[in-house]
Structure 1
Amino acid sequence: MGARAVTRWSRRFVAASALFLVAWQAAALAGVDRRVRVALAVYGFVLHAVFGKAYSLVPSYFDRSLALTRAPGVHFPLTALGAVGLAAAPRSGVPEGVGAVGAFCWAAGVAVFVAALAWTLRDNPTGRETGTSDANADRRPVDRFANAFVPVVLAYLLVGSYATAAGYVTPVPALPELASLGFARTAHLLAAGTAALLVFAVGFRLFPRFLVASSPRALVAVVLPAGAVGPAVLAWGLYRGPWFRAGAALEALAVVGFALAYAVLFVRSERRRVGFYAVLVGVASGVLGVLVGLSFALGGVAPSSALVEAHFRLNVLGFLGLTIAGATYQFYPPTVGTFHGASDRTALASVSLVGVGLLAELGGALASTLAGRQAATWAGAQTATWVLVGRASALGGALLFAGLVLGVFAER
């Protein structure tokens, strides 16, 4: 097994991610338990996309080739089964052992992933060797700086996965620092600490090359440290006064800074492709998401269930999801497909449906929160309507995205 096998498994991770995305949106529309939705979103959709592209991108960004080429094939069934088990566990009627099996499989798959990358990067752990060509020598300082944060990504993944296992598997010792993390804090570690930080680190290398432009170095210097520290402070201090405010501020700084950096790249570039528009909508969603979260931390807005859900979806479906979709459309252009609907127009429709759906949900949540008590009943009905419309729109976008990705993979 060599590079071709790694490429095939990378596609399988991305394909599984797309299927988890559809399952998440269907579950959201059906109104199933929030823990089910978070498991499908974070463990299923986001992190399987992270795994797939990390296997193909991270070694090359450290001027290496994946040392353990069989690792993706061992890893994939473990985390896929683990994500399914974690999503099924909260459902009524599901045996108690399902969650434990899911958590164990998830942790085992993550261990394979981290071991494979750690062994590959063992003689270049900070990424000083970047694989940057002489033609792009001016990019090396940013490339080196971005590489240095990849080990932090892996650390967050290990801590979040350990906390997941400790929550389900009794024999796993719950360290004092992890025992009180709970479901929400663990999700923040994995979504913000693993996925978002990897988006920042890889994004500062990937998107400038896609767009043939340069990121403002001042923003790179701010975003990566804030994105590395913010998730830890946020997870530890969630709803804990000053720590909560500090963590929310750091994460907002990272996301807003990354959004500004991408906007600068977009303006500087002459290239206009559907994937680039997807990322643009994604970073805009991320800005809205962190602003909602910051309002919770600063006490400006009460964290109602509708707004908390809007915050989650803006960040995970909007920022992470549309950024993943944009990169996916760039790596696997829909136009290479010969099946019906394989076009940039369909891809743009998928992005638009998700973006409009998120705005509808946010609008409904804000209307409910800002309405006076006398209008509470009316506002509640309006919120439910807008949420239903928004989630139906997002499901439509997810179906189009999955159809394009799976169709392209089936033909290649």
Structure 2
Amino acid sequence: MRYPSTRLAVVSSLMFLVLWLGSSLLEALASLAGRTDVTAFLSRRAWTYDLPLLGFIGLMILGMAQHFVPMFSGRALWDGRVAMAQVLVADAGVALTLTLPPEAEFVGLGLWALAALLFVVLILLTLRSEEIGVRPMERRPGLGRVDRLAIPMTGAAILYLLAASVGFLLAALPGDPARVTVHWFSFLHLYTLGFISLMVFGVGLHLLPRFLDAVPNRAAVRVLLVLALPSPAGVALLMPLLHSFADPLRPLFVLVASMEALAALLFSALVGVLWWTSGKRRPAASFHVLAGLWLSLGVALGVAFGVDPVATLGWAPAHGWVNLLGFAGFSILGVLAEVLPPYAARGPAAIRRATRAHQVLGTLGLLLVLAGIDAAVRGTPGVAGILSVLGFAGLLAVAGSVAAGTLGTLLGIRTGRPAL
């Protein structure tokens, strides 16, 4: 990690991850204790959506892009000062969104939109700068072709980021702009299925073949590209126009949503096949397999919501946890375990043990959280509260360990001395 802005973004993202899971644990404890004031505060949109979407996932992607885009394009980052300003503005935006009252959240979201714009400018000018080095070597023939297919995915993801960030800002402006607020879920869809998913798909197709020393099927990648690029925009545009199951636009919506679901399942299958055929299955690669499984579960839940939204309404929180922490979170932890392995100074054995522990405890923790949601749907709030507390405690332990271990690795890189 040669750029200070990237290191700051990684550390900030992990701190927001700890805050997200810590606040979720506190909310579960407050619910058991009957503290409605605490649960009301922590159930605000800023804490349940903006914190993980912008603080954890968004900052990590923006920071990692500052590292990988120059590396894969054979260029230097355009301007380190702009890169640092972008991360600082994003940090301030998330912090203000969490702390300001709901009627003033537009200030924080405005800073986030500015950070997204700075990010777009930074990446475009980096790609337009003069080449100064050699791109990563292709140990297997065909990786370059896969890279070229992945580039449109990351490019579209950046456009979705900008559109969704501006949409979040417009929806939060004072005066209750109803015509924009009703589209908030469309903006959310652009951010999650447009920006996050496409960025994970594109970056994954750049990195996973190199991590696993295997080449994905190019025909399957082409199909993924065709399915994944337009479908988030189609779903987001159609969502506000649907008024009932008998709406004449519903068949078109189902078609576009099916394309989105097929893209997710195809990516999960590509990751699974890469892992299965690889002769280099390092422990970190299992994070990506788990992320693919969580993504498949998220697709199944999405289909259930489409078939019977009334009966499955209580499972809506599960869909969020599966997609944000299970898919996006595990994908991020997988990349971190490869490029910034926690506890690196303690040697390969310690890295392997920590990685396995994070995978097992993270999976068990998320399963307990989902079991708690199921118990709540079944009408046993006491059991739901206990399961949620246990699940969030396990997930918080994983987040704390990853944050501490990654910080130690970064300090070791910065000082040139072994990290603690």
Length-normalised TM-score, structure 1? 0.85
Match of 1:195 in 2: 196
Q: Which residue of 1 aligns with 2:356?
A: 348
Q: How far apart are residue 72 of structure 1 and its match?
A: 1.2
Looking at structure 2, the residues matched to 293 and 34 of structure 1 have their Cα atoms a distance apart, in angstroms, of 23
1:244 Cα deviation from its structure 2 partner: 5.1
Instruction: Give the SS at the match of 2:80.
Output: coil
- In the other structure, the counterpart of 1:180 is 182
The equivalent residue for 1:316 is 324
Specify whether residues 51 and 202 from structure 1 end up closer, same or farther in structure 2 by C-alpha distance, changes over 3 A only: same
Determine the C-alpha separation between the residues in 1 that align with 2:401 and 2:136: 35
**1:407 match:** 408
**What does 1:353-368 align with in structure 2 at a 5 Å threshold?**
353-366=361-374
1:10 is aligned to 2:14: no
CA-CA distance at 1:70 after TM superposition: 2.3
Q: Residue 295 and residue 144 in structure 1: after superposition, are their counterparts in 2 closer, same or farther (change >3 A)? A: same
Amino acid of the residue matched to residue 110 of structure 2? F
Q: Does 1:86 align with 2:111?
A: no
Aligned mates of 1:30, 1:231 — CA distance in 2: 34
Tell me which of 95, 107, 117 is aligned to 2:113: 107
Q: Distance in 2 between matches of 1:209 and 1:186?
A: 33
Distance 1:311 1:40 in 2: 17
CA distance in 2, matches of 1:85, 1:269: 45
Matches within 5 A, 1:118-197: 118-122=124-128, 131=135, 133=137, 136-169=140-173, 180-182=182-184, 184-197=185-198
Matches within 5 A, 1:373-384: 376-378=378-380, 380-384=381-385
Secondary structure at 2:142's aligned position in 1? helix
Q: Which amino acid letter does the alignment assign opposite residue 391 of structure 1?
A: F
Contact 1:197 1:224 in 2 (8 A): no
- Cα deviation, 1:128-177, whole Å, max 9, x if unaligned, reads xx946465542222211111222211110110111122123459x9897x
- In structure 2, relative to structure 1, the CA distance for the partners of 1:298 and 1:65 (3 Å cut) is farther
Name the Cα RMSD after superposition: 2.8
* CA deviation map 1:56-91 (0-9, x unaligned): 1123334433223322111011001111122234xx
Whole-angstrom distance in 1 between the partners of 2:404 and 2:227: 36
Deviations 1:186-239 (A, max 9, x none): 222212211210110111111001100011223212223322223223333448
Query: Which of 113, 116, 119 lines up with 2:122 in the alignment?
Result: 116
Report the CA distance between 1:387 and its aligned residue: 2.5
For residues 62 and 345 of structure 1, do their structure 2 counterparts lie closer, same or farther at Cα, with a shift above 3 Å needed? same
Match of 2:18 among 22, 26, 33: 22
With CA pairs under 8 Å and 6+ residues apart, which has the higher RCO, 1 or 2? 2
Instruction: Tell me the distance in 2 between the aligned counterparts of 1:25 and 1:397.
Output: 10
Does the Cα contact within 8 Å between 2:6 and 2:67 map onto a contact in 1? Answer: yes
Partner of 1:72: 83
| Residue of structure 2 in register with 1:287 after alignment | 296
Query: Any conservation in 2 of the 1:21–1:45 contact (CA below 8 Å)?
Result: yes
**Distance apart, 1:95 and its partner CA:** 7.5
Instruction: Return 272-281 or 226-235, whichever deviates more.
Output: 226-235
Q: Any residues of structure 2 matched to 1:155-304 within 5 Å, and which?
A: 155-169=159-173, 180-182=182-184, 184-238=185-239, 240=242, 241=245, 242=250, 245-299=254-308, 302-304=311-313
What's the counterpart of residue 373 of structure 1? Answer: none
Would the alpha carbon gap of residues 337 and 86 (structure 1) be closer, same or farther in structure 2, given more than 3 Å must change? same
CA distance in 1, matches of 2:406, 2:362: 16
Cα pair 1:114 1:154 within 8 Å, conserved: yes
| 8 A Cα contact 2:116 2:162, kept in partner | yes
Amino acid at match of 1:26: G
Q: Which residue of 1 aligns with 2:43?
A: 33
CA distance in 2, matches of 1:110, 1:287: 29
Under a length normalisation based on structure 2, what TM-score does the superposition of the two structures give? 0.83
Is the Cα–Cα contact under 8 Å of residues 18 and 402 in structure 1 kept in the other structure?
yes
Structure 2 unaligned regions, length at least 5 = 28-41, 414-420
Counterpart amino acid of residue 236 in structure 1: L
Aligned length: 386
**Partner-residue secondary structure (3-state), 1:272:** coil
Inter-CA distance 175–68: structure 2 relative to 1 (3 Å threshold): farther
Match of 1:372 in 2: none
Distance 2:140 2:82 in 1: 31
Letter matched to residue 346 of structure 1: A
Q: Partner residue of 1:333?
A: 341
What amino acid sits opposite 2:96 in the alignment?
A: G
Q: Deviations over 1:298-319 (max 9, x none)?
A: 22773334x1111111111011
Q: Could you give the per-residue CA deviations for residues 335-392 of structure 1, whole angstroms, max 9, x where no partner exists?
A: 52249x95321232122222112222223434554xxxxxx544x4433332332222
Matched, 1:43 2:54: yes
Query: Separation in 2 of the partners of 1:383 and 1:321?
Result: 23
